[in-house]
Amino acid sequence: MAKHTANRSMGTVALRWQGDSLELLDQRLLPAEEHWIKAEGASGVAQCITDMVVRGAPAIGISAAYGVALAARHAGAGDWRAEVHKAIDELAQSRPTAVNLFWALERMKGVFERCESLAEATRQLAAEAVHIHEEDLAANLAMADHALEVMAPEKAMSVLTHCNTGALATGGYGTALGVIRRLHEEKLLSRVYADETRPWLQGSRLTAWELTRDNIPVTLNADGAAAAIMASGKVKWVVVGADRITANGDVANKIGTYNLAVLARHHKVGFMVVAPSSTVDMALASGQDIPIEERDGTEVREIRGIPLAPAGVEVFNPVFDVTPASLIDAIVTEKGAVRNPNITGMRALFA
Ligand SMILES: CSC[C@@H](O)[C@@H](O)C(=O)COP(=O)(O)O
């Protein structure tokens, strides 16, 4: 599948499966503190997803899969089937937009339903979660190959990215950030402009952290600077991830992604979405059908308890937006790229 092997350039990890427990790097505390949390059973994993200890569509799916494995491990000998199903339902409530969560839970459910004993379920579910984790890493490496074929850069160039799509958001290496890593490895990257990504600051707290750790040249910018950066001719591509891609090629991703797609089209900058096929939801016709999570207004009103706005001011805090397919130059998955996405191109790859 991928030309590149999994053991390169992957010091940063978001989660560690210890065979009988799941540890998550608390992304709420980065970059100030590297603190690992041991998730307490499936409920603990669900809470960590809701609270954004772990975030990013693929990492959410992988964590949920380990959550199901933990549910079997902790189930009593009595009604163990009901206990695991309850855990799956609880995990499904943790966040609504990233389809990787539901994809992973469906896959775990399929394995679970074929198990005939609790001992078998405990073994098989842990093995399946590890497969999901490993496959995600392999997919990221393959996506980077496909993305470079689409970009076909002749010399080093700069790109702009949004949110965090790196090792912290995935099983390792990253989706859009994996493409950026690969450009850097091939000496085809001049610089990454990283949107800070208000309000949760995934760009400044996580992307800038990951990139500086790996000595990849990064310039952090306020989200509002993206238009000026594109107008200056400094970037050739905007490269972003996705939380859900519908059958017509519409893409839900971190709030502010749609703004970038409009700007990129205006400035004749390429716009690329990079995501594993587990992010593709062919059951939904268009982006209008995607449930968009809204989070508490406190995330906009305050930072770590420090007020940034009048107390109690009304806030609109959708954490994702939908970029229409017509503004996207390429959607890249491990199965290949869909250029100028539409329903025909999507069906050709994902039917
Ligand atoms: C490879 S991660 C892709 C997306 O999940 C990412 O761009 C994003 O929007 C993450 O949102 P988050 O709210 O941090 O989970």
How far apart CA 7 and CA 5 sit, in angstroms, is 6
Q: Are residues 93 and 154 in the same domain?
A: no
Domain-ending residue, one of 87, 103, 138: 138
Helix 57-74 to helix 80-92 angle (10° resolution) is 160
Print the domain residue range for 269: 143-350
* CB 83, CB 112: distance < 8 Å: no
Please indicate, yes or no, if residue 73 is contained in any of the structural domains: yes
Judge if the beta carbon of residue 253 lies within 6 A of ligand 1: yes
**How many CB atoms are located within 10 Å of the residue 74 CB?**
17
Query: Which CATH number covers residue 77?
Result: 1.20.120.420
How far apart CA 225 and CA 56 sit, in angstroms, is 24
Query: Does the annotation flag 57 for ligand binding?
Result: yes
Q: What ipTM describes this predicted complex?
A: 0.99
How far apart CA 299 and CA 322 sit, in angstroms, is 21
Q: Are residues 132 and 104 in the same domain?
A: yes
Ligand 1: atom nearest CA of 275 is 1
Q: Are residues 227 and 338 in the same domain?
A: yes
| Residue identifier of the C-alpha nearest atom 11 of ligand 1 | 56
In a 3-state reduction of DSSP, which class is residue 84? helix
Summarised one tens digit per residue, pLDDT across range 279-335 is 999 999 999 999 999 999 999 999 999 999 999 999 999 999 999 999 999 999 999
Judge if the beta carbon of residue 98 lies within 6 A of ligand 1: yes
Q: Are residues 197 and 117 in the same domain?
A: no
Ligand 1: atom nearest CA of 240 is 7
Query: Which CATH number covers residue 257?
Result: 3.40.50.10470
Please indicate, yes or no, if residue 164 is contained in any of the structural domains: yes
| Residue identifier of the C-alpha nearest atom 9 of ligand 1 | 254
* Residues with Cβ within 8 Å of residue 197, at least 6 apart in sequence: 162, 163, 164, 203, 204, 207, 223, 254, 256
Please indicate, yes or no, if residue 259 is contained in any of the structural domains: yes
Judge if the beta carbon of residue 319 lies within 6 A of ligand 1: yes
Please indicate, yes or no, if residue 234 is contained in any of the structural domains: yes
In a 3-state reduction of DSSP, which class is residue 66? helix
Q: Are residues 87 and 210 in the same domain?
A: no
**155, pLDDT greater than 90:** yes
Q: Are residues 154 and 217 in the same domain?
A: yes
Q: What is the pTM of this model?
A: 0.96
At residue 11 the predicted structure's pLDDT band, cuts being 50, 70 and 90, is confident
For strands 251-254 and 320-323, give the pairing.
Answer: antiparallel
> Torsions phi, psi of 161, nearest 5?
-135, 170
**87, pLDDT greater than 60:** yes
Domain-ending residue, one of 104, 138, 172: 138
At residue 10 the predicted structure's pLDDT band, cuts being 50, 70 and 90, is low
Q: Are residues 303 and 240 in the same domain?
A: yes
Average pLDDT of every residue of the chain: 96
**Separation of CA 200 and ligand 1 centre (Å):** 11
Query: Does the annotation flag 226 for ligand binding?
Result: no
**Which residues are the active-site residues?**
243
Query: Does the annotation flag 93 for ligand binding?
Result: no
Find the helix or strand (DSSP H, E) in which 259 lies.
helix 257-266
Judge if the beta carbon of residue 230 lies within 6 A of ligand 1: no
**Separation of CA 43 and ligand 1 centre (Å):** 22
Please indicate, yes or no, if residue 289 is contained in any of the structural domains: yes
How far apart CA 213 and CA 196 sit, in angstroms, is 17
**Separation of CA 252 and ligand 1 centre (Å):** 10
Summarised one tens digit per residue, pLDDT across range 15-52 is 999 999 999 999 999 999 999 999 999 999 999 999 99
Of 24, 254, 333, which is best to mutate to test ligand 1, by the most ligand atoms within 8 angstroms of its C-beta? 254
Query: Does the annotation flag 202 for ligand binding?
Result: yes
Domain-ending residue, one of 138, 168, 195: 138
**6, pLDDT greater than 50:** no
CA dihedral of residues 320, 326, 330, 334 (deg, nearest 10): 60
Q: Are residues 147 and 134 in the same domain?
A: no
**How many CB atoms are located within 10 Å of the residue 188 CB?**
16
Q: Which of 190, 193, 286 is nearest to 246 (CA)?
A: 286
Judge if the beta carbon of residue 133 lies within 6 A of ligand 1: no
Of 30, 243, 260, which is best to mutate to test ligand 1, by the most ligand atoms within 8 angstroms of its C-beta? 243
Q: What is the pLDDT at residue 207?
A: 98
Please indicate, yes or no, if residue 1 is contained in any of the structural domains: no
Proportion of the chain above pLDDT 70, given as a percent: 97
Our count of domains for the chain comes to: 2
* CB 160, CB 222: distance < 8 Å: no
The token pair at 212 is 């500086």
Q: Which of 279, 286, 273 is nearest to 247 (CA)?
A: 286
Please indicate, yes or no, if residue 128 is contained in any of the structural domains: yes
Ligand 1: atom nearest CA of 253 is 9
Q: Are residues 174 and 273 in the same domain?
A: yes
**Separation of CA 68 and ligand 1 centre (Å):** 22
**Separation of CA 31 and ligand 1 centre (Å):** 17
How far apart CA 318 and CA 78 sit, in angstroms, is 42
Please indicate, yes or no, if residue 299 is contained in any of the structural domains: yes
* CB 342, CB 330: distance < 8 Å: no
Judge if the beta carbon of residue 57 lies within 6 A of ligand 1: yes
Average pLDDT (127-136) is: 98
- CA distance readout (Å), 70 to 92, 131, 236, 239: 15, 15, 44, 35
